[in-house]
Amino acid sequence: MESPIQTDFIRWIVFLPLIGSIVNGLLGAKIQKSMGKGAIGVIACAPVIIAFGLSVNALLTLKNLAPEKRFLIDNLYAWIHLGSLKVDMAFLIDPLSAVMILVVTGIGGLIHIYATGYMHDDKAFWRFFAYLNLFTAAMLTLVLGDNLLVLFVGWEGVGLCSYALIGFWYQDHANARAGNKAFIVNRVGDFGFVLGMFLLFWSLDAQGHGSLTFREMVKWAPSIKDSLIWGWPVVTVATLFLFVGATGKSAQIPLFVWLPDAMAGPTPVSALIHAATMVTAGVYMTARMNVFFSMAPDTLNVIAITGVATALLAATIALTQNDIKKVLAYSTVSQLGYMFIGVGVGGYAAAIFHLMTHAFFKACLFLGAGSVIHAMHHEQDMRKMGGLKQWMPLTFATFFISVLAIGGFPPFAGFFSKDEILWLAFTSEHGNKLVWFLALCGAGMTAFYMFRQLFMTFYGKCRADHHTQEHLHESPSVMTMPLVILAIGAVFAGLIGLPGVLGGSQFAHWLEPVIHAHEGEHASHALEWGLMAVSVAVASFGVFIAFLMYRRESLSPEIFCNLAGGLPYRLFDRKWYFDEIYQAVFVNGTLLLARIGSLFDQYIIDGIVDGSASLTRFASWLNGLFDDYIIDGMVNAVANVTFWMGNKFRRLQTGNINGYLFVILIAMVLAVYVKVHYWS
């Protein structure tokens, strides 16, 4: 194996945002009071922008290397060296993590700048940016980690920051609950991740190659091909566990329920965490471990099915939502489903490609929605909007471009990445025509609900009350500038991953050192053109329906609501009753378990205690007869003395814990002193 190039600047990509977070977190309140919010903003934004510069530098360094030598390592220190477990605190940049850090620092940086405008009126400005920087540092740790354990540190870090940011406005009980929900649901996934990690190390170690470092693991992956656990291939079980972790972070069935609730956080948080970065962690992890996933076709099938189910389910829910952010939240869940369809059919590069383009247009959509919410005085209901394009032309234009991108219209970014996934679903060896067809239906729904949102928000007559209408205005340039840049990305980012007939994907080629490209996808050009035409046609159909319903209003949505007795509509509107089912099964189940435990305590344990007490009492009563007349005299005297002394000593028992501890400490110090000076 080539010896890696040691490069010291990589650590600063992680450390700079971390320093920003520490400075703002510890001194932020004082800085904000003495130097104003501008200083906080600079402290928060500068590290991320510098980190972006370093990331570009890393990309250029990689480009100048031969493809098989493209990895840079920054080894900080030996973390855990214990037996055959050797884990270093080390960061790695290879083509895959280079893409990820560019997304995190680039889009993250834009969102930081945007947030200085959006959060300007918030009193806890500094706290917000301390969390935001900490989140960025954690996400960078996740994607730069050289081994699974460092990745896991970032993995947990983003979970923690997500909790803090969702519940940022914690005075409102609902927000705090949403934060709790995100954290707890994520913990379920994390548990799977940890088990998968243990299992992989354990089985590799059994072959004498125990390691958690990615390149070592990939190198020795073939050695555990035939290992079994409980009669199953270890790789299948381990990758399934890892995928459970991915469903938690990347909001797939069954653990997607936290993401829509996460919209309780401020809008820049939704854009950064729940669209562009954190939710992509699961996709990144599966791409990073692609060698193992490819060894387990059963797992790939599970992933593909989960992806399709999530993409469709979330899309159907998004059809009926009226909250501008909820529509986007479910569309994120749905698009993440597409990424996992890509993984499930073996197209890891396509999944990462969709991840990247999605980061652009989804961040733009969320920030655009934030701009609208900002202008509407924190009104999020689309039924009270409409006609906003005359007041907010820039927001409208960028939003429109992003809607075209997510809807999958050429030549916008979403078209190429989504089509790549559909194409692989149709042709790859792991693919399946049914998967392709369902994904295509989802694409049609995506186009419908995104244009529904566009029409309801920006077209028609304004339905806001008079007061709000008077104050409608375009957002300040610190907010629109990031929108414009993201919209440009949403237009052009797809061009680096052109389909085969248009010259082939440079993006997949770039990732080849990490993700081995699949052969055998050579189908006729006619088929490729045909599939593209079908997907554009389906998307156009979705737009057409949306146009009839919400622009022309010649087709009433009522018809669909009342379809089949209104059952489908109720299912979509109630989110397929997932929250209710989880409440009934898990939350109430836990409470029931606690109640049973309490009853057990009350009747069985207490019964035993009480029973022994009764027995003792009976024995004592017998004894008492004897005692009463013979021993009492003696005993009474002793008892009186004891009572008297107890009463005196009672004063020592102040109940003051600090006091007790202080006495303990003094006694300890005295004892050590005596031992050292007089006894040795």
Partner 1 sequence: MSPNDLSSYLIIGAILFSLGMFTVLTRRNAISVLMGVELILNSANINYVAFSHFSSGNSAGQIYAIFVIMLAAAEAAVGLAIVLAIFQLFHTIDVEAAQTLKE
Q: Point out which residues bind partner 1 (CB under 8 A).
A: 80, 82-83, 650-651, 653-658, 661-662, 665
Nearest to 148 by CA among 210, 103, 76: 210
Instruction: Give me the residue label for tokens 């060894």.
Output: 295
328: its two tokens = 């986007």
Nearest distance from C-beta of residue 149 to partner 1, angstroms: 14
Q: Are 299 and 293 in contact (CB under 8 A)?
A: yes
Q: Are 57 and 72 in contact (CB under 8 A)?
A: no
Nearer to partner 1, 634 or 664 (CB): 664
The DSSP bridge pattern shows strands 228-229 and 85-93 to be unpaired
566: its two tokens = 């209104």
Radius of gyration of the chain (CA): 30
Nearer to partner 1, 179 or 386 (CB): 179
Nearer to partner 1, 649 or 679 (CB): 649
Nearest distance from C-beta of residue 612 to partner 1, angstroms: 25
Nearest to 639 by CA among 621, 651, 627: 627
Nearer to partner 1, 83 or 565 (CB): 83
Nearer to partner 1, 638 or 665 (CB): 665
Distance CA 117, CA 283 (A): 31
Nearer to partner 1, 378 or 651 (CB): 651
Nearest distance from C-beta of residue 77 to partner 1, angstroms: 9
Tell me which DSSP letter residue 605 carries: I
Nearer to partner 1, 198 or 662 (CB): 662
Apex 392 CA angle, 448 and 494, nearest 5: 50
CA distances from 566 to 69, 560, 619 (A): 59, 8, 72
Nearest distance from C-beta of residue 650 to partner 1, angstroms: 6
Distance CA 155, CA 145 (A): 10
Distance CA 143, CA 205 (A): 25
Nearer to partner 1, 60 or 665 (CB): 665
Q: How many helices (H) and strands (E) does the chain have?
A: 29, 5
Nearest distance from C-beta of residue 657 to partner 1, angstroms: 5
Nearest distance from C-beta of residue 264 to partner 1, angstroms: 24
Nearest distance from C-beta of residue 87 to partner 1, angstroms: 12
Nearer to partner 1, 93 or 148 (CB): 148
Helix (H) or strand (E) holding 186: helix 173-206
Nearest distance from C-beta of residue 663 to partner 1, angstroms: 11
Nearest distance from C-beta of residue 163 to partner 1, angstroms: 17
CA distances from 365 to 100, 118, 398, 482, 564 (A): 20, 15, 8, 11, 33
Distance CA 158, CA 176 (A): 17
Distance CA 605, CA 417 (A): 62
419: its two tokens = 């089509």
Nearer to partner 1, 641 or 668 (CB): 668
Nearest distance from C-beta of residue 202 to partner 1, angstroms: 16
Nearest distance from C-beta of residue 159 to partner 1, angstroms: 17
Nearer to partner 1, 35 or 80 (CB): 80
472: its two tokens = 């409608």
Nearest distance from C-beta of residue 164 to partner 1, angstroms: 17
Nearer to partner 1, 390 or 654 (CB): 654
Work out the number of other CB atoms within 10 angstroms of the CB of residue 75.
17
Helix segments in 408-524, DSSP class H:
413-427, 433-458, 466-470, 477-492, 506-511
Nearest distance from C-beta of residue 56 to partner 1, angstroms: 33
Nearest to 252 by CA among 347, 180, 188, 179: 188
Distance CA 508, CA 494 (A): 12
- For helices 393-407 and 525-547, the axis angle rounded to 10 degrees is 130
Distance CA 55, CA 61 (A): 10
Nearest to 207 by CA among 191, 194, 220, 198: 220
Nearer to partner 1, 87 or 382 (CB): 87
